[in-house]
Structure 1
């Protein structure tokens, strides 16, 4: 799949990284080989390992947060960077090698006609039988009840956002890169969302924080937030002055 500058919106990959010294280099080199014309920014989220040193040694552009803010804080930092540098599309992209850069052009193409595009593993495939996929089904159902729309892979972390959403996510409060935020933006901001099929790889190094217990509590928290908490949140008001 070829990508030519000028055929799509000005795009940047936002890559939050926390203690990813063993995977960040292979991830970025894959991005540079596959989509060299697409910009990227790494957000080093107060890592205690050598993530920042790897970025410096290789000359990767990165923002170095002095403390660990968590995924939501790192993501919003990247969104502020995208807004201030006038990007028209920002793509949430994992540092651990699970997201494959060859699917980025499909997200870039789809975002021209949508507000949010999700890289989905289940557009044309059935979900495997597992506790995690049971939780995914619960979140999918909660989004359907809340918005009337179906998202097959609501927990996918590979998401593209257009300029309007960049503005909202850069300056809004409590807008983490999670399914409840996507649902909220659909319901309160009229965000148009679509999914494009992608394949994801296994983590190249390190361990996921999502243990079976953490996965279960995450799925329950997201479901409750989508069905109930968002109705008590203020109307969208995160746009820059």
Structure 2
């Protein structure tokens, strides 16, 4: 394990109140477990003091000149991981929802070569924060859509708490969905025949920032993500022909 290089990518947009605690939690887990991880905070052109806070932290950081959204923000982090030769990458959101204590559980299937993509799921053991009712309905819908398109069951397709091996990093370095990457990327992974595995994790309510998904926007979200997912499906199917 010591020869491995793992990058934890922390996407941030207006997370001045939570990002320091997130980076510190990752550091504590690294010390306690001996995991060979580095932390990269990607500031997605925040309008608050996130960048100033990040510059005081003991971590790597990227400062995007324009706001790219979560998909572009994460691809910037994955490109960094791939080009710097990291073997694995993990997404831990800067809002405090993803507990760093879950890192060993998320990485173990990659260490054992049982998966290419590991997703931390809130719904396998149903502990901790379970998300809003509207979002849970959406997650059930995406579960059905994934079964229809790629014949895989993913219980928590909107979870951003996920880990990639080097093979997956090579794929997302070339292309990664922009606006709503979590559910759309599931189809991308399925069409590339990647091995997907979910592990149970306990998530927290966000500690800072504001969610981009509200009840009023949930129907629009379902419609937009469905179109995006179908676009990814058609685009990648054409490439494989």
Question: Which residue of structure 1 aligns with residue 117 of structure 2?
Answer: 116
After TM superposition, the structure 1 = structure 2 runs for residues 3-82 of structure 1, keeping only pairs within 5 Å, are 5-6=1-2, 9-36=4-31, 37=35, 38-82=37-81
1:153 maps onto 2:150 in alignment: no
After TM superposition, the structure 1 = structure 2 runs for residues 175-186 of structure 1, keeping only pairs within 5 Å, are 177-186=181-190
Contact 2:117–2:197 (Cα < 8 Å) also in 1: yes
TM-score, with normalisation over the residues of structure 1?
A: 0.87
After TM superposition, the structure 1 = structure 2 runs for residues 63-142 of structure 1, keeping only pairs within 5 Å, are 63-111=62-110, 112-125=113-126, 130-142=133-145
Contact 1:118–1:158 (Cα < 8 Å) also in 2: yes
Unaligned runs of 5+ in 2: none
TM-score, with normalisation over the residues of structure 2?
A: 0.87
In 1, Cα distance between equivalents of 2:74 and 2:107: 19
1:222 maps onto 2:225 in alignment: yes
Contact 2:117–2:164 (Cα < 8 Å) also in 1: yes
In 2, Cα distance between equivalents of 1:59 and 1:230: 37
Displacement, 1:113? 1.8
RMSD: 2.2
1:64-88 per-position Cα deviation (integer Å, ceiling 9, x unaligned): 1111111111111101110011111
Question: Which residue of structure 1 aligns with residue 234 of structure 2?
Answer: 232
Aligned length: 230
Displacement, 1:133? 0.9
Contact 1:35–1:102 (Cα < 8 Å) also in 2: no
Unaligned runs of 5+ in 1: none
CA 1:56/1:68 → structure 2, altered by over 3 Å: closer, same or farther? same
Contact 1:27–1:97 (Cα < 8 Å) also in 2: yes
CA 1:236/1:23 → structure 2, altered by over 3 Å: closer, same or farther? farther
Displacement, 1:173? 5.7
1:134-192 per-position Cα deviation (integer Å, ceiling 9, x unaligned): 111000000011111111111111011111111111122646632112212212x1111
